[in-house]
Amino acid sequence: MLSSSVKVRKNQLGRTSHKASKSGSFFVIPPVAFSVADWFTKYADEPFDWHYPCNPTLNTLDVTMSEHDNDHQEQHESDVATATPELARPPFYVVVLFNDDYTPMEFVILVLQQYFGLDLDRATEVMLSVHYEGKGVAGTYPRDIAETKAQLVNRHARAEGHPLLCQIEPQSI
């Protein structure tokens, strides 16, 4: 492994700079003026914008803000009109179980209890609507949750050897 020599010099501001002979670039090690706890006790009440450009010749971020900086910041705040975001509820989807001639009724009730959290009476009602009407609604969820539940039910049914089909449909309003 090759060792590289390091040269030390002072820049225009009196800060120590180190030069690695291999890279040829200088980097500035800023002096530690205060600790983080000191900064919070001293400057916590003052507004501070981390996006405010610092002076590039100083190579460090000036933490204190002058009166001119506050006026400049207030001027920019008045130039921009803010609006409250429009929030809408996500569209909901219904998880539908379809009837087939091979899946046992007990298995459908078990799936409704296990994956949709229905009690025995409600699971039996949904199972009977699947049996007599051809399909039944197991639950209403946002799209991601509905897709996940449908996939889990379909995987579980295939693992148990049953052709039970579970799909999602947009909720009719």
**Domain ranges (residues) in the chain:** 6-67, 92-170
Looking at residue 122, what is its pLDDT?
98
Gap between the Cα atoms of 43 and 60, Å rounded: 17
Class of domain 92-170: alpha beta
55 against 96, higher pLDDT: 96
Residue 110's nearest CA partner among 29, 146, 71, 164 is 164
> What's the Cα-to-Cα distance from 119 to each of 104, 122, 130, rounded to whole Å?
18, 6, 16
Share of the chain above pLDDT 90, in %: 47
Residue range 40-76, pLDDT digits in tens: 566 555 555 555 454 444 444 444 555 555 555 555 5
Looking at residue 60, what is its pLDDT?
45
Neighbouring-strand partners of residue 45: none
Residue range 17-29, pLDDT digits in tens: 555 444 445 444 4
- Rounded to two decimals, the pTM is 0.52
Query: Does residue 2 surpass a pLDDT of 50?
Result: no
Share of the chain above pLDDT 70, in %: 54
Neighbouring-strand partners of residue 97: 136, 166
Angle formed at CA 82 by CA 62 and CA 67, multiple of 5 degrees: 30
Q: Is 97 left (phi over 0), alpha (psi -120 to 50) or beta?
A: beta
Residue range 97-153, pLDDT digits in tens: 999 999 999 999 999 999 999 999 999 999 999 999 999 999 999 999 999 999 999
Gap between the Cα atoms of 134 and 113, Å rounded: 19
- On whether the CB atoms of residues 17 and 26 are closer than 8 A, the answer is yes
Tokens at 28, concatenated = 């500035």
Cα torsion 14, 16, 20, 21 to 10°: value is 50
Mean pLDDT value across residues 82-95: 90
Q: Check residue 134 and report its DSSP letter.
A: S
Residue 149's nearest CA partner among 127, 166, 132 is 166
